[in-house]
Amino acid sequence: MPTIVSVDDSTVPGEGSSRLLLLVSSDNKHIVVEEDIMSRSRFISKQVEGFEATSQRHAILLPFSSFVLNKVIEYCSHYRGYYLLEDDPDAAPPGRSPVREWDQEFLDVDRNMLLRIIKAAHYLEIKSLVGSCARAIADMIRGKTTEEMREILGVENDFTPEEEHSPSSKCTG
């Protein structure tokens, strides 16, 4: 269930047709963004539908930092007005996400940032961004040994001795 709070009209710049949203990050930064930019997010779209039903103005509290939120807004701004099949709720899901060159450069960030972005995109239900992040993570670990994957992604080998040696475990796949 999303967390929302009521705000005064004066808190949100823009009136009526300007359609501005107030997003509040986990570090309590208030970011005003045009609704149109964030319409790629199914989560935000559903929130806005709810606001219209109650004719109240709300701020949307999000569980990630302003740094990550700004990155997501940058992505949404770049694709403002673009049709991306993955984000169309009425379209059949594509078999695989298309490779977009801009996304590859956009996601050329460190591991922690990439993981934060994919979690934020997942929360905001931006399927195109989730797909691009998943591909970027796959590229990080592609061709690596198990131990290298653990080092790259900061994961420990937590198999018990029994799991390590069971017939259906890592010895046999």
Partner 1 sequence: MRKQVSEDDAHARLHTLEDEIHACRQALASVRMRRNSLAPAAILPYDILALVFESLALKQPPGLASYCNIAHAQEAMLGWITVTHVCSRWRQVALDVPTLWSTVTPELGDMWFNLLLTRSRSTPISV
Q: For partner 1, which is the closer residue by CB, 42 or 150?
A: 150
Beta strands (DSSP E) in 62-122 are: none
**Residue selected from 12, 20, 77, 119 as contacting partner 1 according to rule CB under 8 A:** 119
Alpha carbons 23 and 62: distance in angstroms, whole number: 7
Q: For partner 1, which is the closer residue by CB, 7 or 109?
A: 109
Q: For partner 1, which is the closer residue by CB, 46 or 111?
A: 111
Alpha carbons 26 and 2: distance in angstroms, whole number: 13
Neighbouring residues of 94: CB distance < 8 A, sequence distance ≥ 6: 85, 86
9 near partner 1 (CB under 8 A): no
67 near partner 1 (CB under 8 A): no
What is the pattern of x (binds partner 1, CB under 8 A) and - over residues 120-139? Answer: --x-------xx--xx-xxx
Q: For partner 1, which is the closer residue by CB, 54 or 157?
A: 157
**Residue selected from 46, 78, 80, 170 as contacting partner 1 according to rule CB under 8 A:** 170
Q: Dig out the tokens for 35 from the structure.
A: 């609704």
Give strand pairing partners of 61.
3, 24
* Residues from 98 through 117 that contact partner 1 (CB under 8 A): 111-112, 115-116
Is the alpha carbon torsion for 94, 98, 104, 105 positive or negative?
negative
165 near partner 1 (CB under 8 A): no
Q: Is 45 exposed, middle or buried (0-12, 13-18, 19+ CB in 10 A)?
A: middle
Alpha carbons 4 and 15: distance in angstroms, whole number: 19
Q: Which residues bind partner 1 (CB under 8 A)?
A: 96-97, 111-112, 115-116, 118-119, 122, 130-131, 134-135, 137-139, 141-146, 149-150, 153-161, 163, 168, 170, 172-173
